[in-house]
Amino acid sequence: MSTAEATDGAGNTEYGRKPFKRSKSHFADRITADGRDGWPVEAGRYRLVVSRACPWASRALVSRRLLGLESALSLAVADPIQDDRSWRFTLDPDDRDPVLGIRFLHEAYDKRESDYPGGVSVPAIVDVPSGALVTNDYQQITLDLATEWRQLHRQGAPDLYPEALRDEIDEVAAGIYRDVNNGVYRAGFATTQQDYEAAYADVFRRLDLVSERLRDRRYLVGDTITEADIRLFTTLVRFDAVYHGHFKCNRNKLEQDPVLWAYVRDLYQTPGFGDTVDFDHIKRHYYVVHTGINPTSIVPAGPDLSGWLAPHHREQLGGRPFGDGTPPGPVPAGEEIPAGHSA
């Protein structure tokens, strides 16, 4: 397993059969306003490649929507069922991405570095003119979308990484990354009872701390949505559907924690969050691809999604979701979640 959701050439059967380790992003170039890494921010130049199944890629999906970057940064959505050659564009006509003209994401990696031995991960940003990968640094991509891409933000875009709160955001996000975002994977891919139980304990210890933090405040840091909320949301929204059962994080379901269940529903019902979530892609990816954990590849029929749209009452805590800004507009044509794939 490499950065984010990756294929590493070892085959899907290896998921769950070898110790879990998340490596650093190999391609860590940044797309910046001043172009200091050779990649200047430029509308229409880059293409964001995601899987809607992947929590790490979903961070970029949420950020792109909230900031109104849809017209500036085009989107390629990979099939949630990747094979041993990497993420596939089999959702598109002729099984090719219509902009990049490639069948597999590894082709963009190969154009950047031939014989690259690492995993082919999403999110990935590709330079359209050259067809080469620019970055797969999932930790930095959303921070740069929030800060370096400001000139292309929509009018009324929220400040997702306010300078005055960055130290606190980073601190909160670091604990969530270690114990929750990454912790569920450590539990799910554990190869020993000891490793599993240690990861399981970390997951629920941190979730309890986060639940207590959110008991009397609507958002994790400050009174608006920030990067910290995005990073927590993408794991929480998958918790009952896949992590509780598939990854054995089963002390309790998220819906059994009144605070976290209300918090994640509040975000899900906020424009820019739930309208990026495809529960069908999420379930099929985890249960079909991870054959080392689920050798039958049977995809559960549940859970019931109707509760996601129930009133959450979190607005009683105050807070301003978009700060001085406004909600994002409608989902662009062609990017809608198909009927039956969402709550």
Q: Is 200 a catalytic residue?
A: no
Tokens for 112, please give them.
């950047």
What are the structure tokens assigned to 111, written together? 């154009």
Answer whether 122's CB lies under 8 Å from 57's CB.
yes
Q: Which of 185, 200, 219, 263 is catalytic?
A: 185
> How does DSSP classify residue 78?
-
How many angstroms separate the CA atoms of 143 and 230, rounded?
11
Residue 145 CB contacts under 8 Å (≥ 6 apart), including other chains: 60, 63, 64, 67, 69, 73
The yes-or-no answer on residue 263 being catalytic is: no
Give the Cα separation of 76 and 88 in Å (integer). 10
Residue type at 336 in one-letter notation: E
Residue that has been written with the tokens 């009133």 in this structure? 311
The DSSP secondary structure of 152-207, one letter per residue, reads GSPTT---SS-GGGHHHHHHHHHHHIIIIITHHHHHHT-SSHHHHHHHHHHHHHHH
Catalytic residue among 54, 200, 249, 268: 54
Q: Give the active site residues.
A: 54, 185
